Amino acid sequence: MSQVSPPSASDELEALPDKDSVAALAGAQIDEMERDELIRAIKAAHVPFIRPSDEKHLAMYDSDTLRRLVYLSRRTCRNQGY
C-alpha cells in the first residue's frame, strides 16, 4: 500500500489560477519555494502593492524579499476573503 504525499509547493503552483491558491499556501510551502515559484505566486495574487509594470522587476529581487512578498500576498488574499 503506497502513501500519498501532501502536495509540494511546486505542485500547488503548477495550477495557480487564482487568489484562492495563494491564500491556501502554508508557511512551510512558502519557505520551500524556489525563486520562480515565488514570482509566480506573487503574480497570481494580483495584489495592489505590486503594479503590473513592476512585475517584470521581480526577477531582480533576492529570495528573502520575494518570500516576504508572497507572505504579504497570501495575507492580502485572505483579507479579501479568498
16-70 pLDDT, tens digit per residue, is 568 999 999 999 999 999 999 999 999 999 888 888 888 889 999 999 999 999 9
- pLDDT at residue 15 above 60? no
Q: Helices 35-45 & 63-79, crossing angle to 10 degrees?
A: 30
pTM above 0.85, yes or no: no
Q: How far is Cα of residue 71 from the mean position of the Cα atoms in its chain?
A: 8
Please report the pLDDT score of residue 12 as a whole number.
52
